Structure 1
Amino acid sequence: MEWQAKPDDRSDNAEKIRNTIENTKENMRKADFSMKFSNEQDKQNAIEKNQRRKESIEGLQKELQEEQAFSNRND
């Protein structure tokens, strides 16, 4: 049996990216809330992690725009 690649199904990529963005934003909100009850080290860790999350969201938003453009071209 010969191996064959699966067809490229991008039909739900934009939805998955939107969900990832929303989940990441929710994690940021939870981290912000938990900082009120954290020691300084945990607070600093949360600040740094939220910064990485913010950068991730920016990249995901660019990826979402690309997926939407791809979808619009192929509709």
Structure 2
Amino acid sequence: MNSFNKDNRLDNVEKLQDAIHNTEQSMIAANDAISFSSAEDKLAIKAKNERRKASIEAMKEEVQDEEEARDSGYNNI
């Protein structure tokens, strides 16, 4: 029996857009928590939000790639 599952990319754009939205919401919640946090926690929150920003940028680039692949009919995979 073949355990290989073909990669279904048809909903990748939507999944990435959901992930971007969720990450943005996490950043907002973290920023709201800063005013109630210790100095050490504030630094940790700010550092994590910087990593989130980088992740969002990477996901946005991946959305572009997926949209281009979708537009070309996924012929180059």
| 2:25 alignment counterpart | 26
Structure 1 segments unaligned to the other structure (5+ residues): none
Q: Percent identity?
A: 35
| 2:73 alignment counterpart | 74
TM-score of the two chains, using structure 2 as the length reference: 0.90
**2: CA distance between counterparts of 1:39 and 1:8?**
45
Structure 2 segments unaligned to the other structure (5+ residues): none
Structure 1 4/37 Cα, relative in aligned 2: closer, same or farther at 3 Å? Answer: closer
**2: CA distance between counterparts of 1:4 and 1:49?**
37
**1: CA distance between counterparts of 2:26 and 2:5?**
33
Number of positions where the alignment pairs a residue of Structure 1 with one of Structure 2: 74
CA RMSD, Structure 1 to Structure 2 (Å):
1.2
> What are the Cα deviations for residues 1-37 of structure 1, in whole angstroms up to 9, with x where unaligned?
x325222210110000000000000000000000011
Write out the 4+ residue segments of structure 1 that deviate beyond 6 Å after TM superposition. none
